[in-house]
Structure formats: structure tokens, C-alpha cells
Amino acid sequence: MKQVHLRLRERPRSYTITIQSGLLEDLPALMAKKWRGCALFIVTDENVEKLYGRNLLLRCIDVGLNASLLFFPAGERSKNFKTIHALQTALLENRVRRDSLIIALGGGVVGDVAGFVAATILRGVKYIHVPTTLLAQVDSSIGGKVGIDHPLGKNLIGAFHQPSAVYVDPLVLKTLPAMEFRNGLSEIVKIAAALDGRLFSSLEKNAPSLSRENASQLMKLIYRAVELKAAIVAKDELESGLRSVLNVGHTIGHALEAATSYKLKHGEAVSIGIAIESRLAQRLGLLSHHERTRILATLTALKLPIRVPPLKRMSKFFTVLSADKKSLGSTIRFSMLAGIGRTAIDVRVSTDHIAQLFDNSND
């Protein structure tokens, strides 16, 4: 078992991320130790409900816990107010109280939605993350950013609400579709390229052989990515500066997701975002040609996309880019790679400059 302690300035909000193969099996016993007497609400999506949710509910009931299960259709399209409202109604009908606990069991969508419901219902109840995608295990379950999308852009409605604990079980990745596994790898490439040259070199070396079957290799990767993210969140919980290093690839990535009406998955969009932003970084003299080549080669070896798909609505891309939380009028603020393992924050680029990049983005 491995543990990472995320120590926040406000001590009571600190929490532990536990990573252990088979942890999901032990969860009911852990819950019974810590949360007996509270009403537990497992929130998940329709896929994860069938794979793990139902079983978790039964095992929680078996150990005498007062647990119920709520679920919604899987996918980014559920990250909206309709889902939030339906969950809030179900919780209120089932007599949620201030001392109830929400268990977010699923990928990044479940985590963001369940976390936002936890942040808002009765002005905030406690919740824990049990992430079941690689992306959620290494990224979205850590740091307390929760929220939903708006037609004007991704993640524009939300809150900071830290979980009380995160339980990561790499064994659940065995059922994850290969494409979803790759999506998670793109966030690991991001965090490595942004913060840890050694981790990047190891990814680069192992990319062709990386698989879910290699449990020890996977455990090491997840642990290091979690450690890196937790260290950043500990220093800048509310993203007033340093935490924005984690936005590498995301400024372009978020706009691509919205411009393709979410046909592009988050991880794919981030991968293309890293590729396009690396091109921008090279033009700005922040990244060398060799470094950019290494980044593109690693993404490609991991079977991640690096080219922008044909966009029917380029105008939508720029509308979303300008609605980004990081934009200032016609200037977009980027967190940009400044070498492998180094990031420059608050790099300002005009939308005209970005448009030029797209004219020949598939060079």
C-alpha cells in the first residue's frame, strides 16, 4: 500500500490518497470504521454502477452501513445542471443530512459532478473519491476542483471542495476500455512534461511496452503522478498561481473539446493541446525543436492523437478560448512548457497568433 498525504494550509482540510491494488474490496470495512452512523450515498454513472457500484452497495449494506446508490448516464454530456438537479432531488428525497457522506465512484465526470453536488447540497457535505479511470486516479480526484460545463465552455461552473479521502485501486483499470486508459496517460505525460523530467524520460523509454497488465510499472506511475499533483495543490490550493502549471495542454484542449461538441474525449483533447501548445512554445523560444520532438514522439508512442481533427465550427473554438477562465480580452494566458520538466505560467498570446498556428497546424 502507498499513501500520499496532501497537507493543506488549513489543516482540517488535509487528506490522504491511498493507492492499493484490490482496495475496492476493502472499502466497506474501511467505511464501517470511519463513517458508521452516517448515511452514505454512492454516486456513479451507469457503466460503473453495473461494474462496481451495485456490488459495493450490497457489501456496504452487508457490513451494516446505511448506504444508497445514485447514478446517471455516463459521459461528458452529463456534466450539466440537469444531472446536478436530479442528484440533488434524489439526495433530498432520501433525507441527506449535513453529516452524510457522498462517495464519488467513477471517472472524472462522476468526480466533478458528485463533488459539485457535495459542495452545494445543504451548503456542503463531506465526500470521498474512489476514482475508476486512470485519468481520475492520477489527476481529477486530487485537488478538490469540482464542477460542470456550460454551453459557453468547459468547467465554467464549479467550486473548490476538497474530498475527505481518496482511495485508488489500480485493479479496476482492468475493465477500462483501451481508449480510456490512453486518455489517462495523456495527463501523466502532461504532469511529467510540466514538472518532472525524470518521469518524462521514464515514460518516453517505456511508452511502447506500457500496459495495464504491468501492475508494478503502473503502480509506480500512478504514485509519482499523484505525488506531483498533491505537492502542487498543497502549495496553491485555490490556483492563485503555481497550480496553473497543471493547465499545460488544457487551454487549447478545453476549446477543442467544446468545439467538437465533446466528441473528442478530455484526454485526447489534452494530448492534441499539448502538441499544439508545444508548437506555440517552440515559436516563442521556450521549447527547443528537440524537446518538442521528444514530446510528440512520446504522445505518438502512447497512441495518443497529436493532430487537430477537422473542425466544422472554428468560430466555436475561438469563442470557447475567449470564454476560458484564463483569457483577458483578445489575449489568452497559457501555462506553457519551457523545457521538459519546466513550465512558464502566465504566458500571454494573442488570439491572432493562435489563429495563424491553426492555419498550418497539421504540418
Ligand X SMILES: NC(=O)c1ccc[n+]([C@@H]2O[C@H](COP(=O)([O-])OP(=O)(O)OC[C@H]3O[C@@H](n4cnc5c(N)ncnc54)[C@H](O)[C@@H]3O)[C@@H](O)[C@H]2O)c1
Which residues are designated catalytic? 123, 145, 187, 229, 239, 243, 247, 250, 254, 266
| Cell numbers standing for residue 212 | 495495464
**Checking DSSP bridges between strand 39-45 and strand 101-106, what pairing results, if any?**
parallel
Geometric angle at alpha carbon 312, from 309 and 314, rounded to 5°: 85
Q: Is 253 in the site for ligand X (CB under 6 A)?
A: no
Q: Is 49 in the site for ligand X (CB under 6 A)?
A: no
Query: In the set 28, 53, 163, 267, which binds ligand X (CB under 6 A)?
Result: 267
Query: In the set 42, 53, 72, 79, which binds ligand X (CB under 6 A)?
Result: 79
- Residue 89: how many other CB atoms lie within 10 Å: 10
Q: Is 172 in the site for ligand X (CB under 6 A)?
A: yes
Q: Is 247 in the site for ligand X (CB under 6 A)?
A: no
Q: Is 107 in the site for ligand X (CB under 6 A)?
A: yes
Which window, 10-18, 96-104, 140-148, 218-226, contacts ligand X (CB under 6 A)? 140-148
Q: In 46-160, which ranges are E strands? A: 66-72, 101-106, 126-131, 145-150, 153-160
Q: Is 284 in the site for ligand X (CB under 6 A)?
A: no
Q: How far is CA 42 from CA 28, 47, 62, 74, 97, in A?
A: 12, 14, 15, 15, 15
Rule CB under 6 A: which of 174-233 touch ligand X?
175-176, 180, 183
| Cβ proximity of 267 and 274 under 8 Å | no
Torsion of the alpha carbons at 101, 41, 236 and 3, rounded to the nearest 10:
80
Pick the closer one to ligand X by CB: 284 or 345: 345
As measured in angstroms, the least distance from the Cβ of 16 to ligand X is 18
As measured in angstroms, the least distance from the Cβ of 360 to ligand X is 29
As measured in angstroms, the least distance from the Cβ of 270 to ligand X is 8
Query: In the set 30, 32, 61, 74, which binds ligand X (CB under 6 A)?
Result: 74
Question: Would you tell me the crossing angle of helices 178-195 and 266-283 to the nearest 10 degrees?
Answer: 30
Q: Is 45 in the site for ligand X (CB under 6 A)?
A: yes
Q: Is 47 in the site for ligand X (CB under 6 A)?
A: yes
DSSP structural state of residue 138: I
Please name which of 219, 194, 213, 211 lies closest in space to residue 303, comparing C-alpha atoms.
211
What's the rounded Cα separation, in Å, for the pair 363 and 204? 23
Q: Is 21 in the site for ligand X (CB under 6 A)?
A: no
Q: Which residue is nearest to ligand X (CB)?
A: 108
Q: Is 136 in the site for ligand X (CB under 6 A)?
A: yes
Binding site residues, ligand X, CB under 6 A: 45, 47-48, 51, 74-76, 79, 106-110, 112, 132-133, 135-136, 139-140, 143, 145, 155, 172, 175-176, 180, 183, 266-267
